[in-house]
């Protein structure tokens, strides 16, 4: 990868260096970033910053000298078979199906979006850094479908990653939730952190969490198998793990089909996953910063339940 440079945003002033870097390079692990710092590869105005807890200040110009390292066992290229929403020389947007993991992890070493990307663009497999995930600039949960943007060059990956980190990307989801929210719209602002008992879950916490902001609008409500449910349009200003699922469950209206956060599947026949869809994505193009907007087709399992709602044509939504 090339040397990278960026300016610390006002909202990150006073933040630890390693945490600020994790926002700007969301596809690199904290361990990897701390190693870069301790190895003297992070600098500001030619001064080496080698302490992870160093407090950064607004306006600081940070330089990262990325090492050229090889992965010991890079992901294997596989066939690419995803619906393409948009593609140009530097960027690809796909409609990720439910059930597909974005990148290899424990329990999912193959069959991921990243494996397919390497199959479609073999050049991305050259010169991989130890902790990098070529092309990946953001994630969707395994069972969440919808818009996923992929970078086709290291430069595009950096610029897109920075846009996500700096909250320059607008993300709109559609969710089918259990029940009918008392308020037709609202904003949820909490801290989200690891659940104190079940470490596989996230939860709304009082301390030791990250700020999470979710806004929602109820589009319509209906009844299926004697169960009330609603279609909700959701926008997130932050990108915390399981954020929408946690926040809607916190309100008392869990995403339908989400066993982990209370929207049980057994009570509604035919639901095989949490019914959450990344519907719309708006972001600056990595080459010239022009505004781009993409929408993804609603999957069939989602459409089947929409038949029980007064809203029939999702394309009419803004």
Residue ending a domain, among 165, 183, 201, is 165
> Whole-angstrom Cα distance, residue 4 to residue 21?
11
185 with 251, same domain?
yes
pTM tops 0.85: no
Q: Report d(CA 135, CA 125) in Å as an integer.
A: 10
Query: How many domains does the chain contain in total?
Result: 3
**One digit per residue, pLDDT tens: the chain, 318 residues?**
456 777 887 877 888 998 888 777 755 667 778 888 988 889 887 788 989 999 999 888 888 887 654 444 667 788 999 999 999 999 999 999 999 999 876 556 788 999 999 999 988 877 555 455 888 999 999 999 999 999 999 899 999 999 998 889 999 999 999 999 999 999 999 999 888 767 668 899 998 888 999 999 999 999 888 889 999 999 999 989 899 999 999 999 999 999 889 866 544 556 889 999 999 999 999 999 999 999 999 999 998 888 888 765 565 566
Q: Which residues are tagged catalytic?
A: 141
196: number of CA atoms within 13 Å, CB side? 5
Residue 75 lies in a domain: no
Two structure tokens written together for 317: 């939504």
**Contacts of residue 43, Cβ cutoff 8 Å, sequence gap at least 6:** 49, 62, 63, 65
- The answer to whether residues 153 and 177 belong to one domain is no
**Claim to verify: residue 179 and residue 149 sit in the same structural domain:** no
Q: Return d(Cα 259, Cα 245) in angstroms, integer.
A: 10
Neighbours of 290 (CB within 10 A): 7
Do 290 and 239 share a domain, yes or no? yes
- Of all residues in the chain, what percent are helix, strand and coil, respectively (each to 5)? 20, 30, 50
Give Cβ neighbours of residue 50 (< 8 Å, ≥ 6 apart): 37, 38, 39, 40, 42
Classify residue 306: in a domain, yes or no.
Answer: yes
């Amino acid at each position: 990868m090339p040397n990278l440079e960026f300016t610390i945003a006002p909202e990150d002033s006073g933040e630890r260096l390693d945490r600020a870097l994790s926002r700007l390079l969301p596809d690199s692990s904290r361990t990897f970033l701390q190693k870069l710092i301790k190895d003297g590869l992070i600098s500001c105005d030619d001064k080496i910053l080698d302490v992870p807890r160093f407090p950064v200040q607004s306006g600081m110009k940070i330089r990262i000298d990325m090492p050229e390292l090889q992965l010991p066992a890079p992901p294997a290229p596989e066939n690419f078979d995803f619906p393409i929403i948009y593609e140009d020389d530097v960027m690809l947007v796909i409609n990720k199906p439910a059930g597909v993991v974005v990148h290899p992890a424990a329990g999912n070493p193959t069959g991921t979006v990243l494996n397919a990307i390497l199959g479609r663009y073999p050049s991305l497999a050259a010169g991989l850094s130890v902790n990098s995930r070529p092309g990946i600039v953001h994630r969707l949960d395994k069972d969440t479908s919808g818009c996923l943007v992929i970078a086709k060059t290291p430069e595009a990956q950096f610029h897109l990653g920075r846009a996500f980190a700096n909250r320059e990307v607008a993300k709109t989801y559609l969710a089918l939730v259990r029940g009918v929210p008392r308020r037709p719209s609202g904003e949820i602002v909490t801290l989200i952190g690891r659940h104190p008992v079940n470490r596989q879950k996230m939860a709304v916490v009082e301390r030791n969490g990250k700020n999470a902001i979710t806004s929602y609008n109820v589009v319509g409500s209906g009844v299926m198998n004697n169960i009330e449910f609603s279609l909700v349009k959701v926008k997130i200003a932050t990108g915390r793990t399981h954020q929408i699922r946690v926040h809607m469950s916190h309100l008392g209206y869990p995403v339908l089909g989400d066993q982990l956060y209370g929207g049980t599947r057994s009570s509604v026949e035919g639901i095989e996953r949490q019914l959450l869809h990344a519907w719309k994505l708006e972001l600056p193009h990595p080459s010239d910063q022009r505004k781009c907007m993409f929408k993804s087709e609603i999957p069939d399992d989602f459409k089947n339940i929409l038949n029980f709602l007064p809203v029939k044509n999702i394309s009419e939504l803004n």
